[in-house]
Structure 1
Amino acid sequence: MERLFLNSDVPATSSGRWTYWRPMAEHVVELGTLHGREVGLPTHFHDENQITFVLSGRRRFVVEGNVIDLAAGQGTLIPAGIPHRSIAEPAGVVCLNAYVPAGRYAVGPMLKEIERQWRKSDQVRWNDLIAVIREHRQDEMLASPAAPVRTICDKPVGEIAARMGMSREGFSRMFTRRAGMPPHAFRLASRLNRARKLLRAGETIAAVAAETGFADQSHLGRWFRRIFGVTPGQYRLG
């Protein structure tokens, strides 16, 4: 029997694979669901912690060179600012994501409680999920682990390298080892995360594209869909 989440709160607008929406909850920035096959995403990161719980099928992530393999009834937390990618699964997967403020959580007990609710009723209710996350938060908001890296990535790579007495290539290699992705990819991911925030705030797609340094709406749309699985318009309606 496929174990499904309670979907009475799921909005009508959906990409067919990913759905994102924002609950009115202090401890959760965004909720999302994934339903489909061959739905891997390239390397990216989030400004929030990502909690993923698999309801059916299999989901695999590559995080800092390690493969996290999740079967139905299993979950994980990917910390804010940590680059990761997901591996496409031909058999299909149904899972839920919760994006929560950066900080420290009792991850093991939290995932155990989500699993307990899932096994008890063959579903995970969104209100219950939000309550579990709130109850297992252990501290106030912390800065993203990538914040120092993001700070030095705000300026041209050549300028930063020169200030550090390094070649551009040497700096890029050092940055990649530290951040888990090259400077240009990190910058792109930062701009896309900024675009997410602006879209959540209700900004128009054209304004978001201009503010985040994309040539136009189409340019933003191509990268946004590649990294997040939905178009900016679909995401904005969530």
Structure 2
Amino acid sequence: MNPSAAASHLTRWPLPGGQALEVLVSSEPERRFAPHWHAEWSIGAVLEGRCRFACAGRAQVAEAGDLVVMPPFALHTAGVGAQAFRMAMVYAPHDWLADRLGWPRDRAPGIATVTHDAAAAAALGDAAQHAAAQPLIEVVLATVGRLAGAPSAAWQPPAVTHDARIEQLCRVLQAADDAGTIDLRVLAAQVGVSREHLHRLFRSALGLSPLAYARLARIARAKTLLGEGHAAASVAADCGFADQAHFSRWFRRCFGVTPSRYLAGA
């Protein structure tokens, strides 16, 4: 594939109740996605090439013909090499999926899964690239229902750990509008540890620093605001980014498209 032809295209398809399916079709060699999470289920098909990714600390590889399913709020990153690469990703709201699959809304499977199913991957890719809503919905429901298994874990907010101190800090960092307002010494004192011990706890539990986590929370909040139709400039300011260019760079590193392209898809 010619790198100059690389592109990503995202669209949002309305669902009942004001929700939407987000569909990303990407053909971008030599890409690295920064660590991030989605509030939705991530269902993907590798159509060409290979993608190395890590989800919840586990390194995995997905190749052409593979299907990938990741639960909401699973912290992950990904990268592809110089070879030709194409993938189709669908982001589906948990409540919608739970209702369609007969799951309780407050419970969900929590394990990222990769499996080889060339026929299903091709069907997902074809429906995504040709904007065929009903075939896409059918393959998404079949894929998640088959790969995710029965719901067994309680529904949880982003990056929940078994450490109550980290969970408390995550809630504080998710609410921070600007990294400049975060005083790690104060936060550490609130949970009874030193600033240095706070960093060690956070990295051990989540694999990133408290400030990196806060930035990801702001980017995730920005994605929600863009989906509601807010202008990129106002979202950048509301979510504490230095300027719109800074916001745009980080948004694309995490979600594969710029805020303006995301708005166009919405």
TM bucket (normalised to shorter chain) is 0.7 to 0.9
Q: Cα deviation per residue 1:96-132 (whole Å; 9 max; x = unaligned)?
A: 11112346369899967x743446x795324323223
- The residue aligned with 1:116 is 119
For residues 63 and 51 of structure 1, the distance between their equivalents in structure 2, rounded to whole angstroms, comes to: 13
Q: Which amino acid in structure 2 is aligned with residue 164 of structure 1?
A: V
State whether residues 50 and 80 of structure 2, in contact with CA within 8 Å, keep that contact through their aligned partners in structure 1. Answer: no
Quickly say closer, same or farther: Cα 1:142–1:124, change in 2 above 3 A. Answer: farther
Q: TM-score, normalised by structure 2?
A: 0.71
More strand by share: 2
Q: 1:143 aligns with which of 134, 156, 163?
A: 156
The within-5 A match list for 1:121-200 is: 124-126=126-128, 127-134=134-141, 136=144, 142-146=155-159, 148=167, 150-153=170-173, 154=175, 156=182, 157-200=184-227
Partner in structure 2 of residue 104 of structure 1: 108
| Structure 1: distance between partners of 2:231 and 2:239 | 12
- Is the alpha carbon distance of 1:118 and 1:205 closer, same or farther for their aligned partners in structure 2, counting shifts above 3 Å? closer
* 2:159 partner amino acid: A
Number of corresponding residues = 223
2:12 equivalent in structure 1: 22
Distance 1:206-1:237 versus aligned 2 partners, 3 A rule = same
CA distance in 2, matches of 1:197, 1:143: 18
- Quick one: distance in 2 between partners of 1:69 and 1:228? 19
Q: Deviations over 1:31-57 (max 9, x none)?
A: 111102112212222222222210111
Aligned equivalents of 2:197 and 2:210: distance in 1? Answer: 12
Q: Percent identity?
A: 29
AA of the residue aligned to 1:104: A
Quick one: structure 1 residues 195 and 109, their matched pair in 2 at CA, closer, same or farther if it must change by over 3 Å?
Answer: closer
Structure 1, unaligned runs of 5 or more: 1-14
Secondary structure in structure 2 of the residue aligned to 1:144: coil
How far residue 84 of structure 1 moved from its aligned partner, in angstroms, is 1.6
SS of 2:37 mapped into structure 1: coil
RMSD: 3.3
Task: Flag the 1:47–1:91 CA change in 2: closer, same or farther, 3 A.
Answer: same
The aligned counterpart of 2:179 is none
Shift of 1:181: 1.5
- Find 1:203's aligned residue among 221, 230, 246: 230
* CA distance in 1 between partners of 2:119 and 2:72 (Å): 25
Which residue identity does 2:248 align to in structure 1? G
Take 1:107 and 1:96, find their aligned partners in 2: how far apart are those partners? 20
Superposed, which structure 2 residues align to 1:36-115 within 5 Å?
Answer: 36-102=28-94, 104=108, 115=118
Equivalent-residue separation in structure 2 for 1:232 and 1:108 (angstroms): 27
After TM superposition, the structure 1 stretch with the greater mean CA deviation from structure 2, 29-38 or 128-137, is 128-137
Question: C-alpha displacement at 1:194, in angstroms?
Answer: 1.0
**Does structure 1 conserve the Cα–Cα contact (< 8 Å) formed by 2:9 and 2:24?**
yes
Contact 1:209 1:220 in 2 (8 A): yes
Counterpart in 2 of 1:12?
none
Question: What secondary structure sits across from 2:69 in the alignment?
Answer: strand
